[in-house]
Homo-oligomer: A and B are copies of this chain.
Amino acid sequence: MQKLCLSFLTLFVLAPLALAGEPLPSWNDRDAKSNILQFVKLVTTEGGEHYVPPADRIAVFDNDGTLWSEQPMYVQLAFAIDRTKAMAPKHPEWKNKEPFASVLRGNMKGVAASGEKGLVELILATHTGITTEEFEHIVKDWLATAKHPRYQRPYTECVYQPMLELLAYLRANDFKTWIVSGGGIEFMRPWTQEVYGIPPEQVVGSTVHTRFEIRDGKPLLLRLPEIDFVDDKAGKPVGINKFIGKRPIAAFGNSDGDLQMLQWVTSGPGRRFGLIVHHTDAQREYAYDRESHFGRLDKALDEAAEHDWTVVDMKKDWERVFPAQ
């Protein structure tokens, strides 16, 4: 009975309170939270010195490590590995060719040893040669069944609850929220609306070349095994300019891949906001920064103080990490 009452209290009293009166309920009352609240108040106060009209309230978010977990490896790499295994019967030559051979033997050190060149090869071989619509179905099917190896829940549930609240809070304040990720644009678009409330047209990412063809009278777009654009590091401001065409006023990242995006966004005129998620929580999530293979955070951490970027200490700043199951 007591439990039932508590549930009742949570559902009908506390939850609406949180929604209406208290934004960011999963953020502890520390600097990171108050910095966000203060920034939003400043740029949305009409008549105020720092007021920004809604059309210019653009906020950009990195995805891997900022909105969802990127450990023990990028989700898209887990996808490429599963695709390699699924496609292997039709590619007998992969048994003797790196990085495919290492993938098929489950030798992750061998995969890592193939370096960035090997990774690109793996991605291109498993992500192209099919139409854009076929690829979309494959991504959706995979996400429906694949599970995070540690949490044993779908990857789309290994997203950060505090960041979901932040996205919703910004949108409630007439911000337009965008993803600007090094990941493949067509790997993200099939699910970002449902998971983050971000529609496909507000996702910026890396792209492969595609070719328009008419096959049996039916127009289609074929994904080609050629990199078109890498939306990472110095590519992020380039991608923002290409896709959004405006300099955002707020940027959220977690690694050196976001350094130039943070520099570009926060050096514009007027009030700007930069934030770095620092993974400090080995117990609930992962603890990594300067030495990590995925999501290395080194230079951007050094520059944070100089640029007045907010650094989130995951362990201390987040009351919870993942959404309730």
* Min distance, Cβ A130 to any Cβ of chain B, angstroms: 14
> For the complex, is A219 an interface residue (Cβ under 8 Å from B)?
yes
The answer to whether A295 has its CB under 8 Å from any CB of chain B is: no
Instruction: Give the complex CA separation of A149 and B250 in angstroms.
Output: 43
Judge if A211 is at the interface, Cβ distance under 8 Å: yes
With most chain B CB atoms within 10 A of its CB, the pick from A132, A189, A201, A244 is A201
Query: Closest Cβ of chain B: how far from A240's Cβ, in Å?
Result: 9
Task: Tell me if A243 and B241 are in contact (CB < 8 A).
Answer: no
A and B contact pairs by CB, cutoff 8 A, 23 listed: A55-B199, A176-B201, A185-B242, A185-B245, A186-B245, A189-B245, A200-B244, A201-B201, A201-B202, A201-B243, A201-B245, A203-B245, A207-B242, A210-B242, A212-B264, A214-B263, A218-B267, A219-B237, A219-B263, A219-B267, A221-B238, A221-B241, A243-B243
* Given contact pairs A200-B244, A212-B237, a sample of 20 additional A-B residue pairs in the complex whose CB atoms are under 8 Å apart: A176-B201, A185-B245, A200-B245, A201-B202, A201-B243, A201-B244, A201-B246, A207-B242, A210-B241, A212-B234, A212-B235, A212-B260, A214-B263, A218-B267, A219-B264, A219-B267, A221-B238, A221-B241, A228-B242, A243-B243
Residues of A within 8 A of B (CB): 55, 132, 176, 185-186, 189, 193, 199-203, 207, 210-212, 214, 218-219, 221, 228, 234-235, 237-238, 241-246, 260, 263-264, 267
